Amino acid sequence: MGENTVQLSDANFDAEVLKSPVPVLVDFWASWCGPCRMLGPVVEDVAKDYAGRLKVGKLNVDDNPTVSANYGIRSIPTLIFFKDGKLKAQSVGAQPKEMLKAFIDKNL
């Protein structure tokens, strides 16, 4: 976990994401998922680039089945953008940094 990302869990999801005063990008991932490992450094870079404007959190789907089930996560990596406590946009699969930044900019 990078210094610019928040470790999310079933226990802290409401406080960190749904009640966040700033928009939140949540990376749903698992340690055994190859594309998740490829996307990880991209998510870290984006967290650094958007510090202060966007909170970036990572949620391990294996360790946190409740939140994963609530949002119908079927394939990973899945990125969900939350704004004002509501799901605003969703993206599935690894992607290059420029595509991820375009996804964020469109929803910020």
Ranges of each domain in the chain: 5-107
Write down the catalytic residue from 8, 25, 26, 33. Answer: 33
Catalytic residue status for 70: no
Catalytic residue status for 25: no
CB atoms within 10 A of CB 84: 10
Contacts of 73 (CB under 8 A, 6+ apart): 28, 61
CATH number of 5-107, picked from 3.40.30.10, 3.40.50.2300, 3.30.470.20, 3.40.50.280: 3.40.30.10
Q: Three-state SS for 61?
A: coil
Write down the catalytic residue from 36, 80, 94, 104. Answer: 36
Per-residue pLDDT of the chain (108 residues; tens, 9 = 90+): 568 999 999 999 999 999 999 999 999 999 999 999 999 999 999 999 999 999 999 999 999 999 999 999 999 999 999 999 999 999 999 999 999 999 999 999
Tokens of 103: 């996804």
Q: Which helix (H) or strand (E) holds 31?
A: none
Give the type of residue at 87: L
Closest CA to 76 of 40, 11, 27: 27
